[in-house]
Structure 1
Amino acid sequence: MKKILVMGVGNVLLQDEGVGVHAIEELQKEEWPANVDLVDGGTFTQDIFHILEGYDYLLVLDIVHAGGKPGDIYIFTEEDLVQNEEQRLSLHDIDLIDSLNMAEMVGSRPVMRVVGMEPKSYTEWSMELTPEVGEKFNLFLDTARKEIRKYLEQC
């Protein structure tokens, strides 16, 4: 059976920057098949690429700077991110692509998708999401669930 890693990325101390980690915390309260692992990736750096080993699929939950309104939700493939150098997930996107490349060098590169949300504030100290992002948080969770189910259909 193929394995799926769902990783929430971000810093919960910087408002909307932590939306991916907040999402993982909620998803961890739910029942998932044994081949689905949910991990708090924090401020993900390339030195933890070994976490990706053994997974066939990777779903990353993070903020995305795509020029939309705060709370807008996006779904990207790895190809989308590599082809569009102007696309900025967050401070973590470069580390993420590097980590995938390093995982491939040691033998296993998962297929990646990203569910991202446009932030309003990601530099102010607060553990609370802004109202604009908070209003769309349940939709963000539903979008992540749908993406996990898509991976499960491929297993």
Structure 2
Amino acid sequence: MLTNNIIFYSDESSIKISVNKDLFNKMYQYCDKSYPNETGGILIGTYLDKQTAEIVAVIGPSEDSKTWKTRFNRGAKGINKLLKEYWEQGIYYLGEWHFHPNGSPYPSNIDTDTLTSISNNSKYSCPEPILIIISGSHNCYNQKSYLYSSTGQKFEMNC
């Protein structure tokens, strides 16, 4: 792991999440571009070992995504092709990221339902998806990370 990474952990889960600070800067750029509307995308990465998920790439919203001030629907145009290219490199879909402008970095019921559904959907091959929520506005962002299990548990991760 690089020293430029932020490590998220929970005392309730054995899994840690490692994210390079440059990837947060990339997400912040998407947030700046979308502001005052929500935005989001996909987290790509791998497991360094059975307990550490490393996010190595961030995909922004596809062109068919829908965005409003208090809602975001991630589109799918071009996503399967990108995921296949990453898969061939040995890196995979690990979850979603999402922006709550001027809001809190806590998941809504829709966010939680979506991630729980992903954890139970074999097409994603992701039984423990990660959700990163960014809140705030230009140059003043907060973020929180969450891990969802197929049993419906949600773990709030700390850094």
* TM bucket, shorter chain: 0.3 to 0.5
Point out the structure with the larger strand share: 2
| TM score, norm. by length of structure 2 | 0.35
Bigger relative CO (Cα 8 Å, ≥ 6 apart): 1
Point out the structure with the larger helix share: 1
